Structure 1
Amino acid sequence: MQLFLQLLVIIVTLIISHEHEAKAAFVPPYSSVVMPVTKHTDATKPLYSVQIMTKYVNLQYLHANFLIDLDAPFIWHNCILQWNSFPGSCPNDTLCTYPVSCEEYQCTDVRTTYSYPNTPSCPPVNNDSTIPGWGYCTCPVDVVNPVTGSCNQALLNYDEFTVNTSNGRNVFDGLYGFYPNAACVDSSSFSSFPANVSGVMALSSSPYALPAYLFEPLKRIVALCLPSNVSAPGALLYGNSSYNLLPQSNVDVRSYLSFTPLLKHNDSFGYFINVNSIVIKARFIDVPTNTTARISTTEPYTTLRTDIYNGVVRRFAKVTQRIPLAKPVAPFGHCYNTSNLVSVKVPDIDFGVQGGKNWIISTANSIKQITKDVACLAFVDGGATSEPAIVIGTFQFEDNFLLFDLENSIFGYSSSLLRKQTSCSNFNFTLTPSP
């Protein structure tokens, strides 16, 4: 009997050991997840959204578009809260989720530490709201509309979203689910949003933003490639994969990147870098040492503090003096008459960043064609007391490949991909079977 027990222990130990070895040896077929990025021009300013899967109905997923926000502390979208829901109680075209109670730690944590900083006048949150038939308090939180700056109230919830897996080159039919604490708002909160956009996807450093909910084997690396047109999507990838764009599908876009440290700001969950200089045709613009620049996905054009803006415009006007001027078109202060030009070609604007090579702003990212006859320098005067002094807007990094390496707190930038004969709209979204 003793011999039998010894043999049984040995067999069980071998089985457990083999299972652990098999798990350790397992390498998933994906290294990232991917979401298509759409440019929208039907709101008061150009904006960008990611598409994700939200609900499984009739053997297929419903899709929803979420506005990309690098500053938002948590995800929020159009949904309704239900408790003890039963089949058929939630309409097929509606997303129903479960509420976070005011007594749970997430409620206090979001309200006190990871809420929107510097919120405008918002209605006071309280614990009076309950779900019919449940009786316990829900968790109201304030959200700030990135289009209008207005404040709305939302209810924190337990959510579930799904995205496609990828190796950075292909999109697989395999899926990845994640379960954030998001917030529900009613549909009226999105009247200022682009059509068919019904949420805000937080990509900030907050522990309630998207990066906090994507786990191993994914690395904490956000790759963002904004498209310059509305007809073909760009890409948002999360994970440590190679990144390949057509037609050079064998070229890893990371080889184009230069890097600079990501900085933290006490009053923001967003991402900042240091800009030490701005150079236009070998002439330096006066920029204070270690000037802070915020990277924004909700500001359409780069804003510069007045002293920096004036220096840029003066130098740019000098090196483009052969191009006739036109009356400025808001929000821009320096425009050109292009009626007799086949195309506009201007010198690069180089942003010298801390510890890295220049971030080169080429013509495609510095000149905005307003009408057939008018084009403008796509930088905006942010005012004499603008803080931070520079906010880098989306027009300046369309068709640029950006990498937010949250593992190592570094930021990668490619400058214009158009000079590499590709663009952000060249990611291959054709669905392929998982390996």
Structure 2
Amino acid sequence: MSLLIKLTIVVVAFISHEHEAIAQFQPPYTSIVIPVSKHIDAAKPLYSAKILTVYEDYTQYLPLNFLIDIDAPFIWHECDLQWNHYPGSCPPNTLCNYPISCEEYQCEDVRTTYSYDNPSCRPVNKGPTLPGWGYCTCPVTVVNPVTGSCGQALLSYDHEYTVSTSDGRNVLSGLYGAYPNAACAPSSSFESFPTNVTGVMALSTSPYALPTYLNGPLKSIMALCLPSTLSVPGVLFYGNSSYYLLPQSDVDVKSFLSYTPLLKHPYSFGYFIGVNAIVIKKRSIDLLANTTTKLSTIDPYTTLRTDIYNHVVRRFSLVTKRIPPAEPIAPFGLCFNTSTKGPKVSIKVPDIDFVLEEGKKWSVSTGNSIKQVTEDVACLAFVDGGATSEPAIVIGTYQFEDNFLVFDLEKSRFGFSSSLLRKKTCCASFNFTMAT
């Protein structure tokens, strides 16, 4: 055998061994984990994710709070654009980014395919040049999730976003970095946001949303658990992990889940499921098969098209007729008098079941269906979306709280637990203590 053939065999064997080693590599983590906070100091309840960003001399982290938006096409936040960014040039406690030129492919891609779809927003043109740069910037349309107003931000090459890794039980010592393109907006864009929240974290299916940049060793599976409390955070996972919540530290939350297919929508990067019926105390309100239902982290309460809403309110009124009614308080249409002469007692009402494919039921229990609006008035936390509402149903965040939700893009399915309170745990029960 010639020397050349022997060397070829050795090289091929070495490459094969390297590929096998890479394929067998198992990182010490199964997911990344992010704390999720609830805010009530804006026009509506909202939820944020705390993520570390690099700033100034690239050696320090600046923690930023981003509103969680599972429908947004790209990330945008408060930051400065500097074409000649160098260590020491960025103002203190400020995130600085390099601009993307209007001539680069990302600019046209985001503007034409992966932008906000809102007919009330004016089209954008080429942006102004930055001093000394010589190229035009790339303005993109953004929509304020609090006010619904249109604005503009400048697309940028983004710095690293850094999050903690997890084994599903604890936070691990390792960190995980992602490098998405995002857009820089002025501080005035966030005046209507909750205090200390200065960005929007896109968690949609868009290729410019964060999940695209988290793939690699991580599977495309996102789990979200919104807290009902302000004092303790909920949790966001990304990756194919088991999930454990205290005090049931040996029970994988996956065992609580039922699944239904995720549906695609031609004009949205968000997440949709099909609902076949709504059942209240064994009486079914039938809907068209697979009635399009959107999942939203921006809408605070479930919105129903008027015809569906009227059926739900009529049925719910019948099964709660022993509870004294109260004058409705906007935006709700059905309210109850909860004043008592003795100790305060929370009202108890029947479940509202969303019936999904294959007869799966997402049960909305009292904690997610009744909102205590004042000391003496509680209301059904569903609102009338109007006669032409499209989609017909939008499930909002009040119905998400203390429900464990999984967006499994690997298998194109949505997992849901119904209320974790019935399992003696809640979304604020993840152990964020770093594992030893």
Please classify the TM superposition score into its range, dividing by the shorter chain length. Answer: over 0.9
- Cα shift at 1:99: 1.1
| AA in 1 matched with 2:141 | D
- Cα shift at 1:221: 0.7
What CA distance in whole angstroms lies between the structure 2 residues aligned with 1:395 and 1:217? 33
What CA distance in whole angstroms lies between the structure 2 residues aligned with 1:265 and 1:3? 61
The verdict on how the C-alpha distance between 1:149 and 1:9 changes in structure 2, with shifts beyond 3 A counting, is same
What CA distance in whole angstroms lies between the structure 1 residues aligned with 2:175 and 2:266? 36
What CA distance in whole angstroms lies between the structure 2 residues aligned with 1:219 and 1:269? 19
- Cα shift at 1:20: 3.6
Alignment match, 2:301: 301
Alignment of 1:19-418 (within 5 A): 19-55=18-54, 60-122=60-122, 124-159=123-158, 160-340=160-340, 342-418=345-421
Contact 1:265–1:272 (Cα < 8 Å) also in 2? yes
Structure 2 unaligned blocks of 5 or more? none
What CA distance in whole angstroms lies between the structure 1 residues aligned with 2:423 and 2:316? 25
Q: Secondary structure at the match of 2:47?
A: strand
| AA in 2 matched with 1:105 | Y
- Cα shift at 1:354: 1.8
- Cα shift at 1:249: 1.1
- Cα shift at 1:21: 3.8
- Cα shift at 1:287: 2.5
Contact 2:245–2:425 (Cα < 8 Å) also in 1? yes
| AA in 2 matched with 1:118 | N
The sequence identity of aligned pairs, in percent, is 71
Contact 1:119–1:151 (Cα < 8 Å) also in 2? no
Q: Secondary structure at the match of 1:240?
A: coil
What CA distance in whole angstroms lies between the structure 2 residues aligned with 1:77 and 1:64? 9
What CA distance in whole angstroms lies between the structure 2 residues aligned with 1:336 and 1:173? 49
The verdict on how the C-alpha distance between 1:274 and 1:9 changes in structure 2, with shifts beyond 3 A counting, is closer
| AA in 2 matched with 1:370 | V
What CA distance in whole angstroms lies between the structure 2 residues aligned with 1:264 and 1:12? 46
- Cα shift at 1:248: 0.7
| AA in 1 matched with 2:157 | Y
| AA in 1 matched with 2:303 | T
| AA in 2 matched with 1:44 | A
What CA distance in whole angstroms lies between the structure 2 residues aligned with 1:259 and 1:8? 53
Contact 1:286–1:311 (Cα < 8 Å) also in 2? no
The verdict on how the C-alpha distance between 1:57 and 1:82 changes in structure 2, with shifts beyond 3 A counting, is closer
What CA distance in whole angstroms lies between the structure 2 residues aligned with 1:36 and 1:243? 14
What CA distance in whole angstroms lies between the structure 2 residues aligned with 1:12 and 1:92? 52
Between stretches 361-370 and 14-23, larger displacement belongs to 14-23
CA RMSD in angstroms, aligned pairs only: 1.8
| AA in 2 matched with 1:333 | G
What CA distance in whole angstroms lies between the structure 2 residues aligned with 1:214 and 1:173? 18
Alignment match, 1:431: 434
- Cα shift at 1:56: 5.1
| AA in 1 matched with 2:287 | V
What CA distance in whole angstroms lies between the structure 1 residues aligned with 2:295 and 2:270? 8
- Cα shift at 1:384: 1.1
Between stretches 53-62 and 98-107, larger displacement belongs to 53-62
TM-score normalized by the length of structure 2: 0.95
What CA distance in whole angstroms lies between the structure 2 residues aligned with 1:321 and 1:197? 42
| AA in 1 matched with 2:71 | D
- Cα shift at 1:289: 2.7
